[in-house]
Amino acid sequence: MNTRQFLKVSLLGAGAAALCSRAHALEFYPSPSAKKWAVLYGTWCGSSRDAGVWISEGMNGIAQVFDVRENPDLSSYDHIVAGGAIRSGKVSAELQDYLRKHQAMLAPKIRGLFAVCGNGMQPPGTAQVKALIDQHLAALCGISGVPSRVFLGRITYGLMDEASRKTIEGFGMPEYDNLKRADCMAFGKEILNKSV
Ligand SMILES: Cc1cc2nc3c(=O)[nH]c(=O)nc-3n(C[C@H](O)[C@H](O)[C@H](O)COP(=O)(O)O)c2cc1C
């Protein structure tokens, strides 16, 4: 290798190292909007994260999407959609705590609520909306009557902790993927149309 080639290789290597040091986890960057929208979700295995991102996509990508475990400060947002995964009939303890703690700030800004559940792989109906939205999420937020949706989610054994995997395997439950991007996007569109 001559001096010129050596310098070229060294500079390329230094450039790649600089890029790597700036690398960070994938984040969802919203499209510009006059109003600030956020989607807040709680999840164990990620289907509710995907629901949140797809709800934002249905809103033309204007909502920033937050995992409740990041403990985001949503006080500067104008409109908020909140929801999450269901285990034993409830959303995660982190989401319950967050909604209770910030109820006064969130209540006037909540434009939609959603739950992601298994429901024995059966289509959710009014009973699930009542139990998971009206009597649970809406109650935690201290609100009623906002657009809401119960989505079917996924079972992915490889993403579960051992105790959860054993519980679900004990029901003879196969892996499944019932979450539909189109349904989540339609809900996002519905919320946006109602709020403008
Ligand atoms: C341990 C465990 C408990 C669950 N409990 C319920 C339940 O009570 N009701 C229900 O409809 N679905 C239940 N599910 C199904 C989940 O709600 C479904 O898999 C959902 O997609 C999980 O969302 P996530 O991927 O965002 O964590 C349960 C799943 C697991 C693993």
Give me the CATH number covering residue 170: 3.40.50.360
Asked if the model's pLDDT at residue 14 lies above 70, the reply is no
Judge whether 14 lies within some domain.
no
Confidence of residue 186 (pLDDT cuts 50, 70, 90): very high
Q: In which element (H, E) is residue 53 found? A: helix 47-58
Total domain count for the chain?
1
Average the pLDDT over 74-101 and give the result: 98
pTM over 0.75: yes
User: C-alpha distances in angstroms, 60 versus 47, 52, 188?
Assistant: 20, 13, 9
Separation of 154 CA from ligand 1 center, angstroms? 8
Q: Which domain holds residue 133?
A: 26-195
Judge whether 123 lies within some domain.
yes
pLDDT tens, 92-137? Answer: 999 999 999 999 999 999 999 999 999 999 999 999 999 999 999 9
Average the pLDDT over 60-74 and give the result: 96
Candidates 49, 50, 86: which one to mutate for ligand 1, based on the most atoms within 8 Å of Cβ?
A: 86
Closest listed residue to residue 79, CA positions, set 106, 43, 104:
106
Ligand 1 pocket residues where CB is under 6 Å:
43-48, 85-89, 116-119, 153-155, 160, 164, 167-168
> Cα(170)–Cα(51) distance, rounded to whole angstroms?
27
CB of 43 closer than 8 Å to CB of 49: yes
Judge whether 10 lies within some domain.
no
Q: Please, what's the largest Cα pairwise distance for the chain? A: 75
Separation of 155 CA from ligand 1 center, angstroms? 8
Task: Point out the ligand 1 atom lying closest to the alpha carbon of residue 42.
Answer: 26
| SS3 label, residue 105 | helix
Judge whether 93 lies within some domain.
yes
Judge whether 180 lies within some domain.
yes
pLDDT tens, 126-175? Answer: 999 999 999 999 999 999 999 999 999 999 999 999 999 999 999 999 99
Judge whether 17 lies within some domain.
no
Neighbours of 96 (CB within 10 A): 17
Judge whether 185 lies within some domain.
yes
